[in-house]
Structure 1
Amino acid sequence: MGTLDGKVAFITGAGQGVGQGIAFALAREGAAVAVTGRTESKLVETVEHIRGFGGTAEPITCDISDTEQITAAVEKTVEAFGGVDVLVNNASLNPLGPVLDLTPDLMMKAYQSGPVASFHAMQTVYPIMKQRGGGSIVNMVSSAAVRWDMSGYGGYASAKEALRSLTRAAAAEWGADGIRVNAVAPHALSPGLKWWTENRPDEAAEFIKSIPLGRIGDCEEDIGRAIVWIVGDDARYLTGATIPLDGGQARWS
Structure 2
Amino acid sequence: MKLKDKVAIITGGAGGIGSGMALAMAKEGAKVVIVDVNEDKGRETEKALKAYSESMFMNGDITNKASIKGIVDDVVSTYGRLDILVNNAHVSKQVPMVETTDEVMALSFNTGFYPTFYFMQECYPHLKAAKGKVINFASGAGLSGMVNQASYAAAKEAIRGLSRVAANEWGADGINVNLISPIALTPGVEQWKQAFPEAYQEMVDKIPLKKMGDPEQDIGRVAVFLASSDSDYMTGQTLMVDGGSIMLR
SS in 2 for 1:56: coil
Residue of structure 2 equivalent to 1:141: 138
Report the CA distance between 1:85 and its aligned residue.
0.3
What is the letter of the counterpart of residue 142 of structure 2? A
The answer (yes or no) to whether the contact 2:240–2:247 under 8 Å persists in 1 is: no
The size of the alignment, in residue pairs, is: 249
SS in 2 for 1:60: strand
What is the letter of the counterpart of residue 16 of structure 2? G
Residue of structure 2 equivalent to 1:106: 104
Residue of structure 1 equivalent to 2:86: 88
Residue of structure 2 equivalent to 1:247: 243
- The gaps in structure 1 that reach 5 residues or longer are none
What is the letter of the counterpart of residue 48 of structure 1? K
**Deviation string for 1:72-122 (max 9, x for gaps)?**
111111121111100000001122121122211111111111111100000
Report the CA distance between 1:199 and its aligned residue.
4.6
What is the letter of the counterpart of residue 32 of structure 1? K
Pick closer, same or farther for the CA change 1:236–1:8 going to 2, 3 Å. same
Residue of structure 1 equivalent to 2:22: 23
What is the letter of the counterpart of residue 102 of structure 1? T
Report the CA distance between 1:245 and its aligned residue.
0.3
TM-score of the pair, normalised by structure 1: 0.94
Q: Separation in 2 of the partners of 1:216 and 1:6?
A: 31
Q: Separation in 1 of the partners of 2:191 and 2:158?
A: 25
Report the CA distance between 1:210 and its aligned residue.
0.9
* 1:36-51 aligned within 5 A: 36-51=35-50
Aligned with 2:153 (options 142, 150, 157): 157
Residue of structure 2 equivalent to 1:8: 7
Q: Separation in 2 of the partners of 1:244 and 1:127?
A: 29
Q: Separation in 1 of the partners of 2:97 and 2:164?
A: 27
CA-based RMSD of the aligned residues comes to 1.4
TM-score of the pair, normalised by structure 2: 0.95
Q: Separation in 1 of the partners of 2:89 and 2:191?
A: 16
